[in-house]
Amino acid sequence: MKIILLGPPGAGKGTQAELLAERYGIPTISTGNMIRAEVREGTPLGQKTKQYIDEGQLVPDEIIMAIVESRLAKPDCEGGFILDGIPRTIPQAQALDEMDLGDYVVLNISVADEEILNRLGGRRVCGKCGATYHVTFNPPKTEGVCNTCGDALIIRPDDAKETIQKRLEVYHAQTEPLVSYYEKAGKLINILSEGSVEETTAAIQTALEVK
């Protein structure tokens, strides 16, 4: 099972990736989580990418593809994987296609802009494992604390209102063209995420079973 999750920031890609990874026993590759870990640890890669993330801009394709390529080469990806947040540009999609990944599907999760603001406005993430919560739509068992590792939940700096606006612009300009790229390739499955996390998961499962 090889799945690419496409959709605007806040659509629920990370949330669904966590659930799909558990269900199918395959790893999630989240470039956002990987880069945030590098930033947190202050590595050279983190220093090079921090400014892009903070400003809501995309990290350059070469940097992203180097990260993804070495991650996909690890043995745990042999039985399948979920790509969360990659590709985000046409050149990234082309680079992936040149890597001969085999058969994959693209789940395009769509949601109204207004709902995106509600979702991102209440998003909280675990500073350690990257697990995602929402203050009202998907609260942790104990307020402010990660269910799995017990670490403190934080607000991502790029979830500030101005940066959300910038990220939505970047999405429409640079990432949305991927919808027709994958539609033409016959790989696209559209998932409308208007309901709860559980309803979206159910819609994805139905779509994958039909496939």
Catalog residues that contact Zn ion under the rule CB under 5 A: 126, 128-129, 131, 146, 149, 151
* Integer angstrom CA distances of residue 160 from 78, 122, 126: 37, 11, 17
Q: Which of 2, 48, 128, 156 is catalytic?
A: 156
Selection from Zn ion, ligand ADP, none that 129 binds (CB < 5 to 8 A by kind) is Zn ion
Shortest reach from residue 133's CB to ligand ADP, in Å: 5
**Is 23 one of the catalytic residues?**
no
- Backbone dihedral angles phi then psi of residue 100, each to the nearest 5 degrees: 55, 65
Q: Which of 13, 36, 50, 71 is catalytic?
A: 13
CA distance 88 to 173: 10
Give the residue carrying structure tokens 């399948």: 80
Catalog residues that contact ligand ADP under the rule CB under 6 A: 7, 9-15, 31-32, 35, 52-53, 56-59, 64, 85-88, 92, 119-120, 122-123, 132-134, 137-138, 158, 167, 193, 196-197, 200
The answer to whether the beta carbons of residues 26 and 82 sit under 8 Å apart is: yes
3-state helix, strand, coil in the chain (%, to 5): 50, 15, 30
Comparing CB distances to ligand ADP, the nearer of 4 and 26 is 4
**Is 40 one of the catalytic residues?**
no
Catalytic residues: 13, 88, 123, 156, 167
